Amino acid sequence: MDVRRRHAELVEAPLKPNKLHHAGKVAPPAPAAFHLTNASSVVVFFSAVYYLLSRWREKIRTGAPLHFVAPSEMVAIASLVGSFVWFFGFDFVQSLILRPSLETWTNDETEKAEEVIVVPLKPKMVEPIPEEKVIGTVNITSAEDEEIINSVVAGTTPSYSLESKLGDCRRAAGIRREALQRATGRSLEGLPLDGFDYQSILGQCCEMPVGYVQIPVGIVGPLKLDGVEYTVPMATTEGTLVASTNRGCKAIAMSGGATSVILRDGMTRAPVVRFGTVTRAADLKFFLESPANFDAISAVFNSSSRFGRLQGIKCAIAGKNLYMRFSCSTGDAMGMNMVSKGVQNVLDFLHKDFPDIEVMGISGNFCSDKKPAAMNWIEGRGKSVVCEAILKGDVVRKILKTSVEALVELNVLKNLTGSAMAGALGGFNAHASNILTAIYIATGQDPAQNVESSHCLTMMEAVNEGQDLHVSVSMPCIEVGTVGGGTQLGSQSACLNLLGVKGANKKTPGDNSRQLARIVAGSVLAGEISLMSALAAGHLVKSHMKYNRSSKDVLKVASS
Ligand code: ADP
């Protein structure tokens, strides 16, 4: 290698975006003293090479053992290595050993780390790359792609139109992602692009995709529920959650299993309409709530779907505004779209008898979707489920490492009294939302509905003369479906398949989604049992330190 020529190239080459040189950070020119020390390192390097070669030749000639290294030879080897490192820079030598990927975009962690190691005149050896080709992780396959990226960056092609313009969802996502990186100067490295079916989300699950987030899926079970054993998938990044729920499942199974009951099954939507007077608003309220009108209204409502069936309408008046909470069964769908279509049909129909009706919004928050509301807590929304188990005293002691009395006492103090003190709305439980949300994400439910779906009252009572523990969860708003939304995506439908509730139930529409709601309640029961036991036994912090707070140096992990 012509070291001098290479060095000259390095000094003179324009600095490109790389680990040592970010946009906005220009390395200062080399000082004269620096040239001198570099020249010295070259002299030391070649002198050491010459000396070592001559010593080697001498040993071969005299038959001396080659592995015997004299002190002078050690000094020569050290000089050789030292001058090499000095000349090329420590980071270059390190890069030869570690072979890092060519990281071109800025990210916070590397930026911080590099502020410490930036040294002028020791740039990394990178070939000059035209600015627009510095592209991180996306393969730009054609000049046409390059042109489209530039037009998205320039704003001439709207990013949202890429799918329809290109007719290739993967290509659209790749181009959007690259345009985004260039426009923001921020790296998306780490957010995977490939390995996902972008066609499957088009027009249904997510607009303007640039990749997908990976969430690990763990399993708990067997969850013995209503005489059947389930293995339940949970998507979470919270250490201890799966392990803890699994322990609850074990306690339930060893005690004979849990039992669930579906109390109610109906999705709701409540539009708000306005009239000129309070009287007119009241007229419509009485019209809608009169049993004599139900058949006509439900015929209109039901015509929008094969599965949506009107169950009832509950009205509330605020001055001359009327809120009408329609409730309907939705088969195996979670049902928000279905109920909205039915409500729209009824609103159109009402115009005939109430021409002065003014529809202010198809959703007036009396529904109430994705917000905590007493309405849901009392009336229910989606599936209302109760689930119980009687844990044997032995199991409580051996598996849960606590006692029936301690659990009953803690439940009263924490889940009932403590929550009352906090003014809770539906939050009379230890961590129902933890288990529920993990199952929602794994099975393609709308995770934002965890708000009301997690409403849960956990009860614990001593039974069988204080020997055993009766534990139950009452959950009035489990909003789940096995068709529609995210449930049809590959990974989510695989998780539904594991539970045996994938897709529509052909025999009895609605049975699959109701079964999923039971499983959610059963899993929540297991989670409640285990966390309450850990708290009662004082184990919570210890197990979190073991599973959730690893001993890894977080700063090192983040910057590596
Ligand atoms: P949601 O109402 O939960 O938002 P969709 O609007 O996607 O979900 O509705 C579900 C779709 O699936 C509807 O078009 C419906 O006709 C269809 N479907 C097929 N089988 C069933 C079933 N067993 N239960 C409910 N919907 C079903």
Mean pLDDT of the chain: 85
The pLDDT score that the predictor gives to residue 296 is 98
Catalytic residue among 370, 414, 470, 546: 370
> Would you call 468 a catalytic residue per the annotation?
no
For the chain, the residue count is: 560
Quick check: helix, strand or coil at residue 540?
Answer: helix
Q: Whose CA is nearest to atom 2 of ligand 1?
A: 335
Predicted confidence (pLDDT) per residue in 316-353, tens digit: 999 999 999 999 999 999 999 999 999 999 999 999 99
Residue 107 pLDDT greater than 90, yes or no? no
Q: Which of 436, 395, 464 is nearest to 525 (CA)?
A: 436
The pLDDT score that the predictor gives to residue 90 is 53
Instruction: Tell whether ligand 1 has an atom less than 6 A from the beta carbon of residue 337.
Output: yes
Instruction: Tell whether ligand 1 has an atom less than 6 A from the beta carbon of residue 267.
Output: no
pLDDT range class, residue 43, cuts 50, 70, 90: confident
The pLDDT score that the predictor gives to residue 33 is 52
Question: Who wins on pLDDT, 506 or 548?
Answer: 506
Distance between CA atoms of residues 315 and 342, nearest Å: 17
pLDDT range class, residue 131, cuts 50, 70, 90: very low
The pLDDT score that the predictor gives to residue 123 is 33
Pocket test for ligand 1, best of 265, 338, 449 (most atoms within 8 A of CB): 338
Question: Who wins on pLDDT, 534 or 554?
Answer: 534
Quick check: helix, strand or coil at residue 448?
Answer: helix
Tally the C-alpha atoms within 13 A of residue 239's C-alpha that lie toward its C-beta: 11
Catalytic residue among 91, 265, 332, 446: 446
Pocket test for ligand 1, best of 483, 487, 493, 506 (most atoms within 8 A of CB): 483
Burial 29-53 (b: 16+ CB within 10 A, else e): eeeeeeeeebeebeebbeebeebbe
Mean pLDDT over 393-401 rounds to: 98
Residue 2 φ/ψ region, left for φ over 0, alpha for ψ in the -120 to 50 degree band, beta for the rest: beta
> Would you call 446 a catalytic residue per the annotation?
yes
Mean pLDDT over 274-290 rounds to: 98
**β partners of residue 333:** 483
Q: Which of 18-27, 75-84, 149-158, 261-270 bottoms out in mean pLDDT, i.e. has the lowest?
A: 18-27
Q: Which atom of ligand 1 is nearest to the CA of 307?
A: 25
pLDDT range class, residue 136, cuts 50, 70, 90: very low
Query: Residue 482 is which amino acid?
Result: T
Q: What DSSP string describes 131-153?
A: GGG--TT-----HHHHHHHHHHH
The pLDDT score that the predictor gives to residue 118 is 32
With a CB cutoff of 8 Å and minimum separation 6, the contacts of 133 are 140
Residue 29 pLDDT greater than 90, yes or no? no
Distance between CA atoms of residues 99 and 202, nearest Å: 38
Q: What DSSP string describes 69-103?
A: --HHHHHHHHHHHHHHHHHH-HHHHHHHHH-----
The distance of Cα 271 from the centroid of its chain, to the nearest Å, equals 31
Q: Which of 529, 342, 542, 368 is nearest to 453 (CA)?
A: 368
> Would you call 370 a catalytic residue per the annotation?
yes
Output the CA torsion sign for 114, 115, 116, 118.
positive
Centroid of ligand 1 to alpha carbon of 444 (angstroms): 14
Distance between CA atoms of residues 431 and 242, nearest Å: 13
Predicted confidence (pLDDT) per residue in 214-224, tens digit: 999 999 999 99
> Would you call 265 a catalytic residue per the annotation?
no
Residue 519 pLDDT greater than 70, yes or no? yes
Predicted confidence (pLDDT) per residue in 54-103, tens digit: 887 887 777 777 777 888 888 888 887 877 777 666 545 554 544 333 33
The pLDDT score that the predictor gives to residue 466 is 97
DSSP state of 548: T
The pLDDT score that the predictor gives to residue 40 is 77
Question: Who wins on pLDDT, 352 or 42?
Answer: 352
Instruction: Tell whether ligand 1 has an atom less than 6 A from the beta carbon of residue 307.
Output: yes
Residue 21 pLDDT greater than 60, yes or no? no
The pLDDT score that the predictor gives to residue 496 is 98
The distance of Cα 77 from the centroid of its chain, to the nearest Å, equals 53
Predicted confidence (pLDDT) per residue in 426-451, tens digit: 999 999 999 999 999 999 999 999 99
